[in-house]
Chains A and B, each alone.
Chain A
Amino acid sequence: EAQVTQNPRYLITVTGKKLTVTCSQNMNHEYMSWYRQDPGLGLRQIYYSMNVEVTDKGDVPEGYKVSRKEKRNFPLILESPSPNQTSLYFCASSFERGLQYFGPGTRLTVT
């Protein structure tokens, strides 16, 4: 089954404790993105990647890092999480412009 998977689905952590949210897709897509979703703000792009070792900032990259060492994986790294990074995070992948497949989401709470 073609899908985008994210782990963990739910995470509660404390300020400053480094964490990684994994994202994997099995569709051999070149393009992957991370979004955060906040009430009243819709989805905002954090980072995107057009291929292995090629990443670029989206609209809200501050406080986040990404890496793309393999085509299927695109982890999101929070080196020092803060409460304002409490949000619902989505990973997405696509093989052509705009047609993005979203993962199920990761709900992160930073206390």
Chain B
Amino acid sequence: GENVEQHPSTLSVQEGDSAVIKCTYSDSASNYFPWYKQELGKGPQLIIDIRSNVGEKKDQRIAVTLNKTAKHFSLHITETQPEDSAVYFCAADTGFQKLVFGTGTRLLVSP
């Protein structure tokens, strides 16, 4: 089955810096890759997603890139702010409703 690896497990940056979180997947049949942000005490919230027919997608300060050949995708956050501090999860959709998640990255943005 699908296996999703996520790195790093923790990431500390200064406010205004960029943050990059990377994920790799194993199943070449996966074709949908969402990213979720989880704040303390809350459920995960979708922040951006990308489908396999697209190489890059941007939404304001957040962007996601996908390299199907290498089977990896990344989340890029520019001009980080303290409110970006949270746990971020990548996921791969191996089939309808079958999401496999990475183990999460704890991002800390220091003022």
Q: Which A residues fall within an 8 A CB radius of B? A: 4, 31, 33, 40-45, 48, 50, 58-59, 90, 92, 94, 97-105
Contacts and interface: CB of A to CB of B under 8 A. Distances in A.
Contacts of B49: 98-99
B98 A45 contact: yes
B46 A100 contact: yes
Interface stretch (B12-20, B65-73, B74-82, B101-109): B101-109
B94 to A, nearest CB: 10
A43 B45 contact: no
B46 A99 contact: yes
A92 B99 CA distance: 11
B42 A104 contact: yes
B15 to A, nearest CB: 27
Query: 6 closest A-B pairs (Cβ-Cβ)?
Result: A102-B43, A42-B101, A42-B103, A43-B101, A98-B32, A98-B93
Contacts of A43: 44, 89, 99, 101
Contacts of A90: 43-44
A44 B101 contact: yes
A4 B43 CA distance: 10
Interface residues of B, number: 25
Contact of A48 (B41, B97, B100): B97
Nearest to B102: A42
Contact of A97 (B6, B43, B45, B93): B93
A33 to B, nearest CB: 6
A42 B41 CA distance: 15
17 contacts: A31-B96, A31-B97, A33-B97, A41-B103, A42-B4, A42-B102, A42-B103, A43-B101, A44-B101, A50-B96, A90-B44, A92-B43, A99-B34, A99-B46, A100-B34, A100-B46, A104-B41
A100 B35 CA distance: 11
Contacts of B6: 42
B97 A50 contact: yes
B1 interface: yes
Contacts of B1: 59
